[in-house]
Chains A and B, each alone.
Chain A
Amino acid sequence: MRRFSEISPAAAALWYLSVMGISMFCNYPVLAAMTIAGGCMVFIMIAGKGHGREHLFFWLLFAVLAIANPLTSHNGRTVLFVMNNNPVTLEALLYGLNSAALIVGVLYLLRSFTMIMTADRLLYLTGFLSPKLSLTLSMALRFVPLFGRQWQKISDAQRAMGLYRDNNFLDDLKGRMRIFSILVTWALENGITTADSMEARGYGCGRRSQLRQYRTTLQDAVFMAADAVLTGVCVFAVCKNGFRFGFYPDTFVEKPGIKGICGIIAFGLLILMPLVTEGTVKLRWRYLQSRV
């Protein structure tokens, strides 16, 4: 058993894709509430406690987004008050709250996605799509620290030759421009050398293999299967009109029928999957420790 942040990149990407796909395109208030609650929990699970500033930013954004709609849209029947000769309606406010919950929920999910899907994991996935582009990306990633080190070397050399001064703003700027110019020339030449070296070692002959290998274990397979089934139920509920609701001119959310309830339960289970994985791992660890 592995933790959620360590399951195979394909399984993690599938989960994020299905949760965000359903909640972003569905607009249903119940799902919106579940998205923001689930997104927040998953973020805390992955990022740990703290991160107060990020939470503050997300909830401020929530407030701004929720208020923005009633101030710009004047549809709806229930007028709360009149501002600048424009009616501010309850329906528009509810719509704003719903949109804000969806957007902030998805932003929470994306934050944790960025944390989990580090560059090497995402490059592993894009490698199946296009090995060449994936290679270009990973080379660019590698060039950044290399250029940083080279910049330091050039600057040291310039200083040793007495060409670089940083006590005067203009001289400093000129010096930096020169270093940058030297760096670019070097980077391009170095790129050619790299390319020739790659070709000499047989780049382009045969299939490209991945740098990192991720084994697909039984856990990944079960995770992906559960994900697919739950997503299928949700999509079925949406397609069969299980969620009946509207915002304008009157806001109503019809009591969901059997299809709607199935959809809601399925989405709830779907969004709880990382937490379940994490919980199971923790329980197992406790159990193993208690046996020692």
Chain B
Amino acid sequence: MFGRKRHIIISLGVAALALLLFAAGFERKSTGTRRLVIVSVMTALCFAGRFIPFLKPISALTIISGMYLGGEAGFLVGALTAILSNFYFGQGPWTAFQMLAWGMIGLFAGILSEPLKRNRLLLLCYGFVAGIGYSFIMDIWTVLWYAEGFRLDLYIAALGTAIPYTVSYAVSNLLFLSLLAKPFGEKLSRIQIKYGI
């Protein structure tokens, strides 16, 4: 049964399961209300940023959230922005993959927060890699949906057609990280010190 489309079922199942597990963990933990609201403020800013043509600040803002508010907050900002903005850009099975991809970008930014804060060059490198990695992950999904199983030639073709987007992601990450990382960092640290989040 469903043998031909096994790959897509498994990958979709794994993505959904990862998100559900994360949601369940978040639900059980007692997160401060202040923290919750700050996360939704960052999500709203990301969401508004997705309407800027060509340049997408979502990954950059997700990385900044992850760096200064911790990995969990970074994951939440990325994943929630994906589901929220897709109310306008169209929901679909890809929402799960986008949520996971952006969430991971935020989560790893949180884990690597110390070196990323200290080294600006490293931060820009991380943003560049995240932009390209996002495109690579989303194209796996494109291929899985179209073909039976994973086909390398189709994957390379999909990556080829996505080059403008990949470049735009990487460039926007570099641009927005170099512009926003410092001021946002200052503002978020200030809030953290002032209100003890």
A contacts, CB < 8 Å to B: 20, 24-27, 65, 68-69, 72-73, 99, 103, 106-107, 110-111, 113-114, 117-119, 122, 129-133, 135-137, 139-141, 143-144, 147-148, 181, 184-185, 187-192, 194-196, 198-199, 203-204, 238-239, 241
B125 in the interface, Cβ–Cβ < 8 Å?
A: no
Give me 27 A-to-B residue pairs in the complex whose CB atoms sit less than 8 angstroms apart, sorted by A's number. A24-B5, A27-B148, A65-B146, A72-B151, A72-B154, A72-B157, A99-B146, A103-B146, A110-B92, A118-B87, A129-B23, A130-B23, A130-B24, A132-B36, A136-B80, A140-B47, A141-B84, A144-B47, A181-B183, A184-B184, A187-B44, A188-B187, A190-B41, A195-B38, A196-B33, A203-B33, A238-B2
**What 4 pairs across the A-B complex have the smallest Cβ distances?**
A143-B44, A140-B43, A139-B40, A195-B37
- Taking a contact as CB atoms closer than 8 A, the residue among B26, B34, B151, B184 that contacts A195 in the complex is B34
Decide if A191 touches B83 in the complex (CB within 8 Å).
Answer: no
Chain A residues closer than 8 Å to B27, beta-carbon distance: 130-133
Closest to B2 in A: A25
Closest to A143 in B: B44
In the complex, the number of residue pairs spanning A and B with C-beta atoms less than 8 Å apart equals: 140
Decide if A72 touches B45 in the complex (CB within 8 Å).
Answer: no
**How many B residues have CB within 8 A of the partner chain?**
50
**Chain B proximity of A278: nearest CB distance (Å):** 22
Chain B residues closer than 8 Å to A191, beta-carbon distance: 34, 37-38, 40-41
Decide if B9 touches A25 in the complex (CB within 8 Å).
Answer: yes
Decide if B90 touches A111 in the complex (CB within 8 Å).
Answer: yes
Decide if A136 touches B40 in the complex (CB within 8 Å).
Answer: yes
B contacts, CB < 8 Å to A: 1-2, 4-5, 8-9, 20, 23-24, 26-27, 31-34, 36-41, 43-45, 47-48, 76, 80, 83-84, 86-87, 90-93, 145-148, 151, 153-154, 157, 183-184, 187-188, 191, 195
Given A133-B23, A140-B84, 15 additional A-B pairs, CB 8 A: A24-B8, A25-B5, A107-B92, A130-B26, A137-B40, A139-B37, A140-B43, A141-B44, A144-B44, A147-B44, A147-B45, A188-B188, A191-B41, A192-B34, A195-B36
**Chain B proximity of A252: nearest CB distance (Å):** 14
| Known A-B contacts A27-B4, A114-B87, A129-B23; A140 and B36 likewise in contact (beta carbons under 8 Å) | no
Decide if B93 touches A137 in the complex (CB within 8 Å).
Answer: no
Alpha-carbon distance between A188 and B80 when the two chains are bound, in angstroms:
18
| Known A-B contacts A140-B80, A189-B191; A110 and B90 likewise in contact (beta carbons under 8 Å) | yes
Alpha-carbon distance between A192 and B36 when the two chains are bound, in angstroms:
10
**Chain A proximity of B151: nearest CB distance (Å):** 8
Chain B residues closer than 8 Å to A147, beta-carbon distance: 44-45, 48
Decide if A136 touches B36 in the complex (CB within 8 Å).
Answer: yes
Chain A residues closer than 8 Å to B145, beta-carbon distance: 24, 103
Decide if A110 touches B36 in the complex (CB within 8 Å).
Answer: no
**Chain B proximity of A97: nearest CB distance (Å):** 13
Alpha-carbon distance between A75 and B121 when the two chains are bound, in angstroms:
48
| Known A-B contacts A133-B80, A196-B34; A188 and B91 likewise in contact (beta carbons under 8 Å) | no
Decide if A110 touches B91 in the complex (CB within 8 Å).
Answer: yes
Chain A residues closer than 8 Å to B90, beta-carbon distance: 110-111, 114
Decide if B191 touches A188 in the complex (CB within 8 Å).
Answer: yes
| Known A-B contacts A122-B87, A140-B43, A195-B37; A185 and B5 likewise in contact (beta carbons under 8 Å) | no
Chain A residues closer than 8 Å to B34, beta-carbon distance: 191-192, 195-196
Decide if B47 touches A239 in the complex (CB within 8 Å).
Answer: no
**Chain B proximity of A171: nearest CB distance (Å):** 17
Decide if B5 touches A72 in the complex (CB within 8 Å).
Answer: no
Decide if B1 touches A135 in the complex (CB within 8 Å).
Answer: no
Chain B residues closer than 8 Å to A198, beta-carbon distance: 33, 37
Decide if B91 touches A238 in the complex (CB within 8 Å).
Answer: no
**Chain A proximity of B157: nearest CB distance (Å):** 6
Chain A residues closer than 8 Å to B26, beta-carbon distance: 130, 132-133
Alpha-carbon distance between A177 and B187 when the two chains are bound, in angstroms:
14
**Chain B proximity of A4: nearest CB distance (Å):** 18
